[in-house]
Structure 1
Amino acid sequence: MDGVELEILWSNLIGIVNERAKALQRIAFSPIVREAGDLACALFDQRGRMVAQANTGTPGHINSLAFAGAHLVRIFEGRCEPGDVLITNDPWLSAGHFFDITVLTPIFDGPNLIAYIGSTIHHTDIGGYGIGAGARDVHEEGLWIPPLKLYERGKPNEVLHDIIRRNVRTPDAVFGDLSAQVSSGEAAAEYLIMLCRRYGVADIEALSDEIINRSEEATRNAIRKLKPGTYHGETSFDVPGGEIITLKTAVTVDVEAGAIIVDFAGSSPQTATGINVVLNYTHAYSTFAIRSCLNPDLPNNTGSLAPIEVRAPEGSIINCAYPAPVNARHVVGMYVPMPILKALHQVMPERVLAEGSGAVWTMQIQGKRQDGQPFTSSMFNYSGGMGARANKPGPSATCYPTGVAAVPIEILEATMPIVFDRKELRRGSGGKGRMQGGDGQSIQFRMLTEAPWLLNAVPSRLNRGPDGIDGGLPGASGHFLVNGKPVSEAKKLTMQPGDVVLLETPGGGGYGKPAS
């Protein structure tokens, strides 16, 4: 395909998914989507290959959406009609826990299927236990939506809608967010149909082949420039309840094939708490770590992901087997890049960074207002410091590797009876080095309720801070205190009116030996 023509068509595709992602973010009900950007949006061809993704989103959603879209296309092959909308939140088929719901819209021009547009967003509520790690198996964690049609020929699937409505605590918010996903998909379909008609093509299959083949070859060529071999990395961290998790990885660079294999053999086994990770989510953060170091300017699609293979033993904490609980899977999943970056430090030291605080600290609050009406907070999350880079200090209070933003405290105070007493940086919590790690932050809050309330809290790194690299010193560990007393629980906590919660997130590790 002519390079100029390809660039014009590619720009149009990116424009479609970018605008739909921004529209979805604007009209979503949940602050975790609207304010924090916890979403992904992507375009798929008829074969279920991710062709283009929006530049708004998180790695755990974007790269998991590539798998979810492919699964839905395969499952409903030959069974889609104009007006259909597909849905699932199956953890093993999509983004790893029930809160992330994937909606996929088949795009038809008349009777002809052109492509699919899909989105994954974090929903405020999916019933069950909530975002914490205390459920004993996946069935206690909430409503499981298998691959189904949310809409059939343009009409709601009333049975499915009723099931969802009766199994969640805040149905209006859930259906508001689902409607945002559906309407953004419908608008994307209109734009793609106009694009195809403008250029006189029946579908995007030829364009998809060109984009995916070029992306794959460019990624393989970037890998061929690296030093061949197998490189090892390891990270350990504590999780709610005090358990120590170890992730080990062997990163093999095969320059002849232009491929990279990431093998997590030797990592911790899956646990009885809801911090287990499905392989899709592990793959998402593994490919993110490699591609951000390898060639971050290349499009992120099925082609650029193809040269990277991710392996993990079934039954391990990063490839858990049914019916393992998974609702707090980010607590472990967001540490996946850390051992990979340590391995890549042996190949491209100037492109990696020291360990950061890892998983964002997520809080979900449930309770009743003074008028008796129940409320469930959007998951609000707070980050620690990022690890230092080879030539720059680590950013403070920055969500890495997720990229999701913190919901502003003003928004949280406006949507539920909560008061934040302070939110400030933990000066000096970043590890020292030639380049210093980023600082964590301190957040203190209390609830204005007359009745007891429930807190799902999943902090990590309470006993050991993030490692430095190349002689850099570790960052400070975090603290989670209720009324001044340390707490480390994997279960949901029952809180009393007037209880004060203090979060002190970890600092990032330093890079290089500190000056004497």
Structure 2
Amino acid sequence: MSTSEFDAVTLRILWDRLISISDEIVETLVRTSFSTIVREGYDLSVMLFDREARLLVQGTRSIPVFIGTAPVTLAHMLARFPAETLRPGDIVVTNDPIIGTGHLFDICVMRPLFREGQLVAFTMSITHLPDIGGMGFSAAATEMFHEGLLLPICKLFREGVVDETLVELIRRNVRVPEQVMGDIYANVSACEVAARQIVDFMDEYGIDDLVPVSRAICAQSERAVRRKIAEIPDGTYRNRVQIEAIGEPVHIACTIEKRGDAIAIDFAGSSDCIRAGINVPFCYARAMAIYSIKCITAPGIPNNEGSVAPITVTAPEGCILNAQPPSPTAGRHVVGHFVTPLIFGALADAVPDRVQADCGMINIITVQGKRPDGDALSTLYFVAGGFGALSGLDGAPTTPGPSNMACVPTEIWESRTGITVERKVLRPDSGGPGRHRGGLGQEIMLRNDTGHLLTVFSMANRTDFPAAGLHGGQAGALREHQLEGVAVHPKSRQELKPGDRLLLLEAGGGGIGDPRLRDPDAVRVDIENGFVSRAQAVAVYGLDLPQQDAAAD
């Protein structure tokens, strides 16, 4: 097959096959990883590029923050190692936050793919590592140098031979070397599967060059996204959001220019960077902006270069959404996740049926210390607040947004860490009231049963500014952390002695629409399910209940 033109059926078959290949690469990555962060949490992404470095497909289970970052990373890799100098078996890596995904904890692993001696494609695999040295995954650093080991663009493998010096350098700088190198080698394995699958794909369909296929797929994606963008009324839209930081709150701002079938987003007016690890490199801010527009326009279109082409993003250098070294960025999600509600809020009146009320968002806890058997422990605990309501749909309970991280099952967490999940229940009345209710948060009690002292870093948001509702909907409940019954700072470092308990009260999602317009039968079902108390049903939703029932809670 050598023609650059494809009929719709053929193109769909080729496209679906490539997506299937990328999804198989994801499963390879998950099944060979050592850490629960990847194996259970799916903090990962895999991408395939044509030989012109055009993003062709991305794994379906990839997380939003990696949309659009890999092409920039690949461009820098090819500037360091030009395509004509690459050889079969080469593996190029980096965790540079500015040209990667925004912090040191994500490793980007790239392999050039060859067929019959000719370079035909590139694959890249990205995962969050369980540790990269330094202070650990937290917001506590005041400079990037505190946060861990930065790997410049370098070759981990040269023509199939591993660089043992680089491996030893990594191992000597991390707390859990077996897990870290196991996860890095899992990325290498995923790239190996990609190389084999792409060659088989090209052989099966008689394709000598992926570029025509790539151009056709990207062109079709771009046309589809542009059609949806064109449906948004032309205009200039603005918004500003406050976010709890360390000390004084910070804010992010946007101006959205919608003209025809293109959108330009500018983050001018956002706060400057601060001396805490919640600054956001531009690669991350851009990814979240692209994700937000895709949710509003064409969420079903797979991610590739064409699907992001109509969206332009800019930010002033040095602002909190365009951090420059040495600003620390480990907890960039603490601010970066607010890009989505910022953009949704700006466009809420323009496309009221397409935007979402604010989410309770994900909460990430870093735990360092020892397991019950004395082995080193450095891992993350993911826990979700409630999902924001959508037009015509209640928000799901304990569902992360805008991230799509999976939560580690309790049985896996306890067996791998020695930390007991003593209690895990939904929080009644935590979902923002509305015609469509926000999703509930949850209450989780963690108990240190390792027999050792644990260090815990928190990176919580939604502690001062709740998930806002839309169009008359109300805000969800705030997030709170308590250590042995005493409230602690949500972005602090805490020590848990053996037997100590850490309580996580997770934020609820915002509601949409006037709560008094909610279907009374839906409110009664909420009461039966324990989502809404009788008192809230009467006072906020206006449900007519007998006085004794209203006071029964």
The normalised TM-score by structure 2 is 0.90
Q: Which residue of 2 aligns with 1:361?
A: 363
Residue 332 of structure 1 aligns with which residue? 335
Tell whether the 8 Å contact from 1:48 to 1:74 is kept in structure 2 after alignment: no
Partners of 1:361 and 1:383 within 8 A in 2: yes
Equivalent residues in 2 for 1:269-284 (5 A)? 269-284=272-287
Pairs within 5 Å for 1:58-97: 58-77=63-82, 78-97=84-103
Correspondence 1:304-319 to 2 at 5 A? 304-319=307-322
Alignment of 1:152 with 2:165, yes or no, is no
Whole-Å separation in 1 of the counterparts to 2:366 and 2:65: 19
CA distance in 2 between counterparts of 1:353 and 1:62 reads 20
Quote how far apart the aligned CAs of 1:329 are. Answer: 0.8
- In the TM superposition, residue 456 of structure 1 has moved relative to its aligned partner by 0.9
* SS of residue paired to 1:324: coil
Letter paired with 2:394: P
Do the aligned residues in 2 keep the contact of 1:454 with 1:492 (CA within 8 Å)? yes
Task: Check conservation: 2:460, 2:490, Cα contact below 8 A.
Answer: no
1:462 aligns with 2:468: no
Q: d(CA) in 1 for partners of 2:112 and 2:337?
A: 31
**1:271–1:9 CA distance, 2 compared to 1 (3 A):** same
Largest Rg, 1 or 2: 2
Amino acid at match of 2:282: L
Q: What are the Cα deviations for residues 180-202 of structure 1, in whole angstroms up to 9, with x where unaligned?
A: 11111111111111221223332
Task: Return closer, same or farther for 1:225/1:368 CA change in 2, 3 Å cut-off.
Answer: closer
Mean CA deviation greater in 329-338 or 484-493: 484-493
- Residues 98-144 of structure 1 show CA distances to partners (whole Å, capped at 9, x for unaligned) of 11101011001132000011111111111111111111211110110
SS in 1 for 2:440: coil
Paired residue secondary structure (1:414): helix
Q: Following the alignment from structure 2 to structure 1, what is the Cα–Cα distance between the partners of residues 441 and 17? A: 40
Matched residue, 2:441: 440
- The residue number in structure 2 matching 1:476 is 477
What is the identity, as a one-letter code, of the residue corresponding to 2:404? G
Q: Which runs of 5+ in 2 are unaligned?
A: 517-541, 543-553
Which whole-Å CA distance do the structure 1 matches of 2:374 and 2:126 have between them?
32
CA contact (8 A) 1:236 1:247 kept: yes
Give how far 1:221 is off.
Answer: 2.4
Deviations 1:19-73 (A, max 9, x none): 1111211221111111111111110111222111111121112432233233323
Secondary structure, in 3 states, of the residue corresponding to 1:350?
coil
Q: Partners in 2 of 1:429 and 1:90 — Cα distance?
A: 39
AA partner of residue 412 (structure 1): W
Which of 200, 204, 212 is matched with 1:198 structurally? 204
AA at the equivalent of 1:430? G
Q: Is the 8 A contact 1:57 1:404 kept in 2?
A: no
TM-score normalised by structure 1 residue count: 0.96
RMSD, matched Cα: 1.5
Deviation at 1:314, TM superposition (A): 1.1
Deviates more, 1:266-275 or 1:230-239: 230-239
Contact 2:282 2:322 in 1 (8 A): yes
Following the alignment from structure 1 to structure 2, what is the Cα–Cα distance between the partners of residues 372 and 302? 47
Deviations 1:463-502 (A, max 9, x none): 2311111111111111111111111154422332222100
Structure 2 CA distance, aligned partners of 1:472 and 1:96?
Answer: 33
Equivalent in 125, 131, 146 of residue 125 of structure 1: 131
Counterpart-to-counterpart distance in 2, 1:203 and 1:71: 23
Counterpart of 1:265 in structure 2 is 268
- Tell me the secondary structure at the aligned position of residue 310 of structure 1: strand
Is residue 460–residue 491 contact of structure 2 (8 Å, CA) maintained in 1?
no
Aligned with 1:117: secondary structure? strand
Equivalent pair of 1:462/1:480 in contact (CA under 8 Å): no
Say if 2:480 and 2:490, in contact at 8 Å, map to a contact too: no
1:349 aligns to what SS in structure 2? coil
Give the conservation status (yes or no) of the 8 Å contact 1:231–1:346: no
* Residue identity opposite 1:459 in structure 2: A
Could you tell me which residue of structure 2 aligns to residue 320 of structure 1? 323
Query: How far did residue 408 of structure 1 move?
Result: 1.3
**Distance (whole Å) between structure 1 residues aligned to residue 30 and residue 376 of structure 2:** 25
Report 1:65-464 matches (<5 A).
65-77=70-82, 78-239=84-245, 241-255=246-260, 258-358=261-361, 360-369=362-371, 372-377=374-379, 379-464=380-465
> What amino acid is the match of 1:509?
G
Contact 2:473 2:511 in 1 (8 A): yes
SS for the counterpart of 1:351 is: coil
Partner secondary structure for residue 324 of structure 2: coil
Q: 1:491, 1:134 → 2: CA distance?
A: 7
